[in-house]
Amino acid sequence: MQRVCVIGMGPIGRLHARIYKELPNAELVGVCDIIPERAKAASEETGVPYFLDAQEMLDALKPDICSITTGGYEYSSDHYIPTIQALEAGCHVLGEKPISNSLKHAKEMVETARRLGRCYGINFNHRFTPAARQAEQWLADGRIGELLFCNMALWIGKFMKLDSPYYHLKALNPHSVNMMMHYCGPIEEVSCFAYKATGRDIWSTASINVRFKCGAVGHLTSSYDIARGHPMERCEVAGVKGRFVVEDMWREAVLYPAETYLKEVYTNPVFGGYSNFDDTFRARIKAFVDQVDSGAKPEEIDGSGQDGYEAQRVIHAAIKSLDNGGIPIKVEEVDE
């Protein structure tokens, strides 16, 4: 049984807290926010004590696992301090994406977890669904073969004023870049063009080309400009033996084998299937708790802090490319 705390009680922290309460191998023991109303509301909702200071909560409750669901500049600058605090307090940490808007901080967070031998996961919830797992299985079974290309797309409508021109690139794309790397391996080189849609002062739509280490090529289209874009996410991976498409995280995964006109389809079942986006969090958080609870080694964590750092390096390379007219940038050249 894992004793759990959550730091940062915005909508996402409250969702984490509710999910921990459902899990048979987790016990939510405390919640924390520096905004008293948010901390109190989360405490009333979950029935556990609230704290206004993360260090105080960690000292008092000594949890086994801590979710870090803070936000901040570029939706991630506040993750750094409580992540280090929780790791230093001996916790395994599940952090929200992006790991951090700062590569320097992200690297330090990963190194701290490694030094202390703690499990560190990032909430890449888009790819822990049965449909995404089915695609993983097709890859593992050799149904795709030598990889050729990956086409990834993710768009949502996010029209409010945002705090940085790079907000969309840094905060939305970790999911997509991680999914591309999960299926196709490390990315070596990137180029990026982007667009500020009418009325916007951020790079709100982007087109990113990548070259994977294995030699395959890939593309990511991402946008904050599409109000009702259903479907909103699509991941296509093709190889010499077959091609799969995962639609909207959990809705459908289709395999198109090269040797036949017959396709294989996984469709979200009506009974027992996913009912909404919250279920993607359920699957990801359950996977992390199950791994920790079964004694997984830090390097075995699926969707690790290291993966979060690597995704962010690709995004920083894309930003460097964007700022230099779209020229290709080697990811290894991007550092804090």
Ligand X SMILES: NC(=O)c1ccc[n+]([C@@H]2O[C@H](COP(=O)([O-])OP(=O)(O)OC[C@H]3O[C@@H](n4cnc5c(N)ncnc54)[C@H](O)[C@@H]3O)[C@@H](O)[C@H]2O)c1
Q: Does 291 bind ligand X (CB under 6 A)?
A: no
Question: Closest Cα to residue 103, out of 32, 202, 170?
Answer: 170
Piece of 69-77, 154-162, 285-293, 296-304 that binds ligand X (CB under 6 A) = 69-77
- Name the one range near ligand X by CB under 6 A: 64-72, 143-151, 184-192, 244-252: 64-72
Draw the binding track, 105-124, toward ligand X (x: CB under 6 A; -: no contact): ------------------x-
Determine if 90 is a binding residue for ligand X (CB under 6 A). no
The interface with ligand X within residues 25-44 (CB under 6 A) comprises 32-35, 38
Shortest reach from residue 71's CB to ligand X, in Å: 3
Tokens of 286: 């359950």
Nearer to ligand X, 32 or 184 (CB): 32
Q: Long-range contact list for 11-17, CB < 8 A, 24+ apart?
A: 12/69, 12/96, 13/42, 13/67, 13/69, 13/70, 14/41, 14/42, 14/45, 15/278, 15/281, 16/67, 16/69, 16/94, 16/281, 16/285, 17/42, 17/45, 17/46, 17/48, 17/67
* Phi then psi dihedrals of residue 272, to 5 deg: 85, 5
**63 contacts ligand X (rule: CB under 6 A):** no
Q: Does 171 bind ligand X (CB under 6 A)?
A: yes
Contact 31, 51 (CB under 8 A): yes
Residue from the set 4, 5, 12, 331 that interacts with ligand X by CB under 6 A: 12
Q: What is the token pair recorded at 30?
A: 């405390």
Q: Which residue of 58, 65, 94, 97 would you call a contact of ligand X, by CB under 6 A?
A: 97
Decide if 52 contacts 26 (C-beta within 8 A). Answer: no
Q: Backbone dihedral region of 261: left (phi > 0), alpha (psi from -120 to 50 degrees) or beta?
A: alpha
Which lies closer to ligand X via its Cβ, residue 31 or residue 318? 31
Q: Which of 20, 50, 75, 224 binds ligand X (CB under 6 A)?
A: 75
Judged by the rule CB under 6 A, the positions of this chain that interact with ligand X are 7-13, 32-35, 38, 54, 69-71, 75-76, 78, 81-82, 96-97, 123, 125, 171
